[in-house]
């Protein structure tokens, strides 16, 4: 939960959008997904082969819970901000590096 919460809060510190709750939620979910799985996939790949399936299931369960706990706050803050360009960038991001670059503009 901490990783997603920190990622979402970091994202929010530099982020903005105004108005469209659906676009804000999509941007928040995409950012959190890309950033979380970049780290999680590295941890899974480093684990012994026999443990990877179980570790992936654990990571998925943790991610799902953390995302659902944090997405409403992220979306709410995004709606009250003012930066449609970043939202479009975050929605279009395909990698964690691209998503993180969107928040630094």
| Nearest-angstrom CA–CA distance, 85 and 15 | 10
CA atoms within 13 A on the CB side of 14: 17
| Nearest-angstrom CA–CA distance, 71 and 2 | 13
CB 19: neighbour CB atoms within 10 A? 13
Say how many residues make up the chain.
105
pTM above 0.85, yes or no: no
pLDDT tens figures, 22-81: 999 999 999 999 999 999 999 999 999 999 999 999 999 999 999 999 999 999 888 887
Confidence (pLDDT) at 100 = 96
Q: Where are the domains of the chain?
A: 2-102
Question: Which structure tokens are listed for 104?
Answer: 């630094």
């Amino acid at each position: 939960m901490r990783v997603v919460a920190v990622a979402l809060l970091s994202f929010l510190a530099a982020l903005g959008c105004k108005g469209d709750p659906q676009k804000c939620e999509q941007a928040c979910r995409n950012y959190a997904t890309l950033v979380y799985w970049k780290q999680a996939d590295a941890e899974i790949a480093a684990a012994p082969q026999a443990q990877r399936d179980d570790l992936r299931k654990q990571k998925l369960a943790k991610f799902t819970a953390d995302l659902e706990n944090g997405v409403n706050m992220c979306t709410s803050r995004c709606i009250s901000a003012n930066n449609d360009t970043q939202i479009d960038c975050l929605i279009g991001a395909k990698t964690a590096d691209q998503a993180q670059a969107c928040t630094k503009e």
